[in-house]
Amino acid sequence: MHQAAIPHLPPLGNADAFLPKLDPLAFTHLVIRLSDRRVYVYERDQIKTSFPVAIGRAGWETPTGRYRVLQMLRHPAWQHPFTGEVIPAGVDNPLGSRWIGFWTDGANFIGFHGTPNTESVGTPASHGCIRMYDQDVTKLFEMVQVGTRVDVVP
């Protein structure tokens, strides 16, 4: 009979040292409820917080469905979709200080962004994007990552 050597194991108190680390953001998902004009931030099945939003206006409705965050930018530039004019980051930029893109058809994009037009938040005012108060989109930016699920529901 051969007796194998017993491997040296760390004390149980150190179990965290060899367990995989789970990213807490991996349990976060967003639900945009168009009828409420709010985005809800969920951690697992619990609402962590919510923010008021502007949604797409008539003829430019925000598309419903299940999406994923595709792109995240701090201080984005904005290109006018019809004229091609580029507005650099700053107070005149219609995207505010953050962009969280979650939909594209390859030519057009929809995402969360700040807005200098704060009175539009809570109304159907955008071309499909989700406008937020700049301080709110800055907070949301820190709660999500590329790949975070985004559900847009009526």
8 A C-beta contact, residue 25 and residue 145: yes
**Is 8 designated active site?**
no
**How many angstroms separate the Cα of 71 from the Cα of each of 6, 36, 76, 101, 113?**
49, 25, 11, 5, 12
Catalytic residue among 2, 75, 80, 129: 129
Q: Which entry of 29, 80, 113, 127 is annotated as an active-site residue?
A: 113
Whether 80 is catalytic: no
Count CA atoms closer than 13 A to 15's CA, side-chain side. 2
Half-sphere exposure of 95 (CA within 13 A, CB side): 22
∠ CA(88), CA(73), CA(20), 5° rounding?
165
Annotated catalytic residues are 113, 129
